[in-house]
Amino acid sequence: MSNAVRFSNESSPDGQSLVRISGYSENWLENYTVAYTVLCRTVDGTLTYSIHLMAESYSQRENENRSAGNLAYVKRILIIDDSPLVRRSLRSVLERQQPEWTVCGEAENGADGIDKAQKLHPDLIVIDLVMPVMNGIDASRALRRLMPEVPIVMYTTFADPYIRNAALAAGVHDLIDKSESSTTLIGRIKHLLVAELPPPSTNAA
């Protein structure tokens, strides 16, 4: 079994300070992986917290199926997130539940993500919102200009209407709250990879 825990101080888009506790536990004997994020913040003098859990199980048969998959149909996904724990858990969930998908690369901020995207030519990009150096909205705006045919999914803790509208205007095709299940994320990605993409918003600049 392997475990990891990470603490970080962050600021939400509305200026509030919060503490993120991220963890990852992998039990190879029971073929089970769990990743979790706890966000703590003070609201009107009261400490509040939310727990976001991503868990998935897999079998030897699923791994064999992935190895035997037709590489001509493999879809390449780039993950952009400043948390190595989130990147690792996303890679695990995406590749083990969908044998025809592969994570072609990881980036720790928006600027790094733009560079990796131009080098790796992914079929889809999963991007966080709050990151150092360059945030997800600014990076998505640049990625949309560079590769308009590549769908972008923003996977973030901050999924309020204001953020959603700003993300869509920047060229993001879908926004998913990290509190939702991994099944939701996989379903949205699957839809974008097989559907004819509508023209991105003309508001992106």
> From start to end of 113-162, where are the E strands?
124-127, 152-156
- Has domain 60-194 been given CATH number 3.40.50.2000? no
Q: Structural domain boundaries of the chain?
A: 2-56, 60-194
Tokens 């400043």 belong to 82
> From start to end of the chain, where are the E strands?
2-11, 17-27, 32-43, 46-57, 75-80, 101-107, 124-127, 152-156, 174-177
Q: Which residue type sits at 128?
A: D
Q: Which of 115, 114, 103 is nearest to 136 (CA)?
A: 114
Per-residue pLDDT at 11: 57
* Whether pTM exceeds 0.75: no
Give yes or no for a contact between 171 and 144, defined as CB atoms under 8 angstroms apart: yes
Per-residue pLDDT at 135: 97
Per-residue pLDDT at 36: 55
pLDDT by residue, tens only, the chain of 205 residues: 445 555 555 555 555 555 555 555 544 334 445 555 555 666 666 655 555 555 444 444 344 444 444 444 689 999 999 999 999 999 999 998 888 899 999 999 999 999 999 999 999 999 999 999 999 999 999 999 999 999 999 999 988 899 999 999 999 999 999 988 888 999 999 999 986 444 555 455 4
